Structures are given as C-alpha cells and as structure tokens.
C-alpha cells in the first residue's frame, strides 16, 4: 500500500469547526493508512504537524513532526509521531507568544500565545498509551493540532489581529 497525498481542508469547511470523535481502534489498518497519508500530505505541504480534520476526517488524531524548513527555519528535527486520542494533562503557567501559520489557512501568519510546557498523553499506532512532556516549539505544535481536533484554529487565539502578516512577509523577517 502506497501513501497518498490528500486534499487539505481550508478554513470555512465545516469539519475544521467541529469537535472530532475518538478513534476506536488505534491499530486498525484504516487508521494506519490514514496516518501514512497524513504524513506524506504534511511533508508535501512542508508542514510540521497535521490533524485528521485537515484532511476531512473528524477523528481525534494528529501527527507532530517538526523539521527545519523555509516556513520554520529554527525547528528541531523529530520523526513523525501519530498521537491518537490525545489529552493535554497539564501545562505550565508560563506562555510564549510566537508566530503560527496553518496548512488550512495558507498565506497568513499570526502571533499566538501558547503554554511553554505541556504534559500530554496519547495512544500510539501500536495501541499503547504514552505520557510525556513537550516544551517550546514541539509543545506549540501539539497545542495547535490539539485545537484542530477540538474545532478551533489558530486565528481564534490571536489576541491582536494587527499582528497578522502574509507568509511572504514572515519569511522575509525570519531569514
């Protein structure tokens, strides 16, 4: 079975504003296929994460996979991790405001406050439950994707809409 590049849902499509349903079987062939498709779709779009609603599937599943790129030149390198039925268990009091963009809202960036550290729990593709702590950029990705499975997008969290800039202007600034 070869992974397929899926169409990415765009802001305005209802699936992006609905709370996703839990995944029943993390080890099912359909979920494995969906995760493989999500990973190639995310890589093709040069993203660092992707949630199931972004490919039109309203399930509580996302992939976190930071890699340095033109969009995120200072990102750490991490192999893709599928997080199924994730939970944000706790978080730091400290927040960090940083630039965010979204594959479902192309061409736009905004400054979003996020918790600096998050304690999380999720089921892996092997069916096992994992716990961990994420910090900084990886914590930001988790929170961004977690919002997607809860019917939110990053623009909902931008406190000052005057911070929105185009992707082109963002790339000029972060060089």
Enzyme catalytic residues: 145
DSSP string spanning 131-168?
EEEEEHHHHHHHHHHHHHHBT--GGGG-S-GGG-EEHH
CB 19 within 8 A of CB 57: no
Cα separation values, 159 from 19, 97, 117, 148, 162, Å? 22, 10, 20, 18, 9
CB 26 within 8 A of CB 85: yes
Question: Do residues 39 and 80 lie in contact, with contact meaning Cβ atoms separated by under 8 Å?
Answer: yes
Other Cβ atoms within 10 Å of 148 Cβ, number: 25
What's the distance, CA 115 to chain centroid? 15
């Amino acid at each position: 079975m070869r992974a397929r590049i899926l169409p990415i849902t765009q802001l305005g499509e209802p699936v992006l504003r609905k709370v996703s349903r839990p995944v029943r079987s993390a080890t099912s062939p359909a979920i494995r296929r969906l995760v493989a498709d999500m990973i190639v779709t995310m890589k093709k779009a040069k993203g660092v994460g992707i949630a199931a609603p972004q490919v039109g599937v309203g399930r509580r599943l996302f992939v976190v996979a930071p890699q340095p790129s033109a969009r995120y030149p200072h990102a750490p390198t991490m192999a893709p991790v599928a997080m199924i039925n994730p939970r944000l268990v706790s978080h730091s009091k400290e927040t960090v405001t940083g630039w965010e963009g979204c594959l479902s809202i192309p061409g736009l960036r905004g400054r979003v406050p996020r918790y600096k550290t998050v304690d999380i729990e999720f089921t892996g593709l092997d069916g096992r439950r994992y716990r961990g702590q994420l910090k900084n950029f990886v914590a930001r990705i988790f929170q961004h994707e977690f919002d997607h499975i809860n019917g939110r997008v990053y623009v909902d969290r931008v406190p000052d809409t005057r911070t929105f800039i185009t992707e082109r202007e963002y790339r000029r600034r972060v060089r």
